[in-house]
Homo-oligomer: A and B are copies of this chain.
């Protein structure tokens, strides 16, 4: 487990003023990585968010601001994806974080040189941070599993394997896009209630799923399992992830092979990747498994994972409809899940994924599955919030939503907060629903 070090010190302040504002997602304790581009014709390249600025890592490397280990990482980050940096491993990444923390803090002797490496965020275009190799979606929330299972099987909501296996399925990597990409309402086959034969058309049950995405840094060779005790060495960082879902397409196709076209039309990731090291102060105990749980098999159990495998991350889903935008109404929070409620930890997911010898690769994305908690205010998708559309969510202007409608903006936010530590934000993952193509 990553130890706390000087980069986490709550008293650290940056000479970038916006980094110190209360509510900033990007204080000097965060330093998330992304890929950005400026209008000057330079290609997309790696940067680090600090307040309302981006620190250009290539510029930093060519300015002689880094020691050898940090320089190696900064040079790797000059590519058009973070993959080369991710593949380097945590030692080099950590050296770069330490160097950046020292450069960007108040009183740094190198402030003047470092200032020359800043690009205002508003002047930059953000790109996909990671070239995603393979995408796997887990199913780690017992509340999500139970709530969605109950709709299909009232007598048997939770399958008997749920408490033994961090269940997962492979998802589609090619259709993962950056936050801000419009979500075109997908078409597909659905079986209308009571109908004998399916019909073809635009989905009428378009949903979001608020997940946390985990990026693999260093992978494993085919045939070599990653032990749970080492799983954190393979995790580069986390992002916000919207696994857009067409529930009517999904429910008709899902037997016997699981979700496919109900999911693979689009998924969205946030632009900034928050490193595991930045999140060290917010590690939390994995939740109690329940009195009726079977014993954890050895490859899914370590004391450290029980004690610190979860992450205390609070999440918000906001909706802003076309009418709300027209009337100048701000996006409205409809639900606020907590990532620490997930039954299975991210590290258990990595250990499970590889225990049969399956190889993870740099740039793989593991979705947590929908993050849902025990309370109604903590459910991570509309299928749960509205009980499959039968109990619509009410918005402040009197509008209701059973499922998403064309024109709706879906906005995800998340932050780690802990008394005595700086708040770490994830930025946003957004998308607007647009009508199906003719």
Q: Mark A residues whose CB is within 8 Å of B.
A: 133-134, 139, 149, 152, 159, 161, 164-165, 167-175, 177, 184, 186-189, 191, 196-200, 219, 222-223, 225, 246, 249, 252-261, 264-266, 294-295, 297-299, 352-353, 355-361, 364, 437
**Given contacts A168-B257, A170-B171, A246-B356, could you give 8 more A-B pairs where the C-beta distance is less than 8 Å?**
A170-B170, A174-B358, A174-B359, A188-B356, A257-B258, A261-B356, A264-B356, A265-B357
Q: Which residue of B lies closest to A262 (CB)?
A: B356
A184 proximity list for chain B (CB < 8 A): 223, 357
The 3 closest A-B pairs by CB, nearest first: A258-B258, A186-B356, A169-B257
With both chains docked as a complex, state the minimum distance between the C-beta of A25 and any C-beta of chain B, in angstroms.
28
Do the beta carbons of B165 and A252 come within 8 Å of each other?
A: yes
Which of chain B's residues have a CB closer than 8 A to the CB of A252? 161, 165
Q: How far apart are the CA atoms of A152 and B257 in the complex, in Å?
A: 13
The residues of B that contact A225 with a CB separation of less than 8 Å are: 187
Partner of A164, one of B198, B257, B298: B198
A171: nearest chain-B partner, CB-CB: B170
B355, A170: Cβ atoms closer than 8 Å: no
Q: Given A197-B294, A298-B200, A358 and B175 touching (CB < 8 A)?
A: yes
B contact residues around A159 at 8 Å (CB): 255-256
Contact call A259/B257, Cβ cutoff below 8 A: yes
**CB <8 Å contact, A256 and B198:** no
Task: Report the bound CA distance from A13 to B84 in whole Å.
Answer: 50
| Residues on the B chain within 8 Å of A356, using CB | 186-188, 246, 249, 261, 264-265
Task: Give the nearest-CB partner of A138 in chain B.
Answer: B257
* One of B168, B175, B249, B360 near A359 (C-beta < 8 A): B175
| Interface residue SS majority, chain A | loop
Contact of A167 among B164, B174, B260, B298 (CB under 8 A): B260
Q: Cα distance A246–B356 when bound, in Å?
A: 10
Which of A198, A252, A360, A364 has the most chain B CB atoms closer than 10 A to its own CB? A198
CA distance A299 to B188 in the complex (A): 10
CB-CB < 8 A to A437: which residues of B? 223, 357
Distance (whole angstroms) from the CB of A140 to the closest CB of chain B: 12
Complex A-B: 13 CB contacts under 8 Å: A134-B174, A165-B189, A169-B170, A169-B260, A186-B356, A186-B357, A187-B355, A187-B357, A254-B256, A258-B259, A261-B358, A265-B357, A266-B357
Name the contact of A172 in the complex, choosing from B134, B249, B355 (C-beta under 8 A): B134
Report chain B residues within 8 Å CB of A361: 174
Contact between B222 and A175 (Cβ–Cβ < 8 Å)? yes
Report the minimum CB–CB distance from A314 to chain B (whole Å): 27
Asked, given contacts A174-B133, A223-B437, A266-B222, whether A161 binds B355 with beta carbons under 8 Å apart, the answer is no
Closest to A253 in B: B165
Q: How far, in whole Å, are A353 and B263 apart by their CA atoms in the complex?
A: 11
How far, in angstroms, from A51 to B159 measured CA to CA in the complex?
A: 54
- CB-CB nearest in chain B for A264: B358
Return A223 CB to nearest CB of chain B, in Å: 5
CB-based contact B355/A297 at 8 Å = no
Distance in Å: Cβ of A32 to nearest Cβ of chain B:
26
- Interfacial chain B residues near A299, Cβ < 8 Å: 200
Q: Once the chains bind, are A297 and B260 in contact (CB under 8 Å)?
A: no
Most chain-B Cβ atoms within 10 A of its Cβ — which of A139, A171, A174? Answer: A174
Docked complex Cα distance between A249 and B252 (Å): 25
On whether the beta carbons of B168 and A198 are closer than 8 Å, the reply is: no
Residue among A170, A352, A361 with the highest chain B CB neighbour number at 10 A:
A170
Residues of chain B contacted by A261 (CB below 8 angstroms): 352-353, 355-356, 358
Q: In the assembled complex, which residues on chain B have CB atoms less than 8 Å from the CB atom of A170?
A: 169-172, 260, 264
Asked, given contacts A170-B170, A360-B174, whether A253 binds B200 with beta carbons under 8 Å apart, the answer is no
Measured CB to CB, the closest approach of chain B to A87, in angstroms, equals 14
Give the complex CA separation of A246 and B364 in angstroms: 23
Q: Which residues of B contact A200 (CB under 8 A)?
A: 297-299, 355
Asked if residues A198 and B297 are in contact (CB atoms below 8 Å), the reply is yes
